[in-house]
Each structure stands twice: as C-alpha cells, then as structure tokens.
Amino acid sequence: MPCTLKPCPFCGSDRLKINETATRAFVECMACKARGPKHESQWESKPFAVHNWNIRKPDGELEKDIAIILENHRLARSFL
C-alpha cells in the first residue's frame, strides 16, 4: 500500500502528519486540525491510516450530501 497522502479534503493543505503509536495510527492536517479515522491494530497501522485518509467520495457526491444536510437543518429549524 503506498504511503502518499492526498491533500486535506477540508482545507486543501498538504501539511499532514501521520500520528502513530504501537497500536494505532491516524493522519492529521496541521493546518485545520482535521483528523482521519483511527486504525487500531497490532499490525501495520500506518498504511491503513493512510488508505483511510485518502478515501474520497466521487466528484459531486460530497456536495450532494452537504446540500441534503443543509436542507434538513433548514427544515428542522422551521419547526422551532
């Protein structure tokens, strides 16, 4: 598994750090402090943490999800 990191999906920064202990690893953006999912294992956590960080939704899918969340929020607030 390659250890090349994609830029931060939130701020676009390439200032990334792989935090690793004996049993877990995760990627953190040093610019906006976003963190990828933690991978906990006794074996080779770093490659899995990198893989999990690099997973992205296809173009346009994230925007659709955000639009749905915003619409649901707007509807919920209309009941208050």
Residue 61 lies in a domain: yes
pLDDT of residue 42: 64
| Residue that wins the pLDDT comparison between 32 and 63 | 32
pLDDT bracket for residue 78 (50, 70, 90): confident
Average the pLDDT over 39-68 and give the result: 80
Residue 2 has pLDDT above 60, yes or no: no
This prediction's pTM = 0.65
Residue 37 lies in a domain: yes
Its domain, for residue 48, covers: 16-78
Residue 57 lies in a domain: yes
Find all residues with CB under 8 Å of 59, minimum gap 6, and list them: none
Q: How many domains does the chain have?
A: 1
Three state DSSP letters for the chain:
CCCCCCCCCCCCCCCEEEEECCCEEEEEECCCCCECCCEECCCCHHHHHHHHHHCCCCCCHHHHHHHHHHHHHHHHHHCC
| Residue that wins the pLDDT comparison between 17 and 64 | 17
Residue 51 lies in a domain: yes
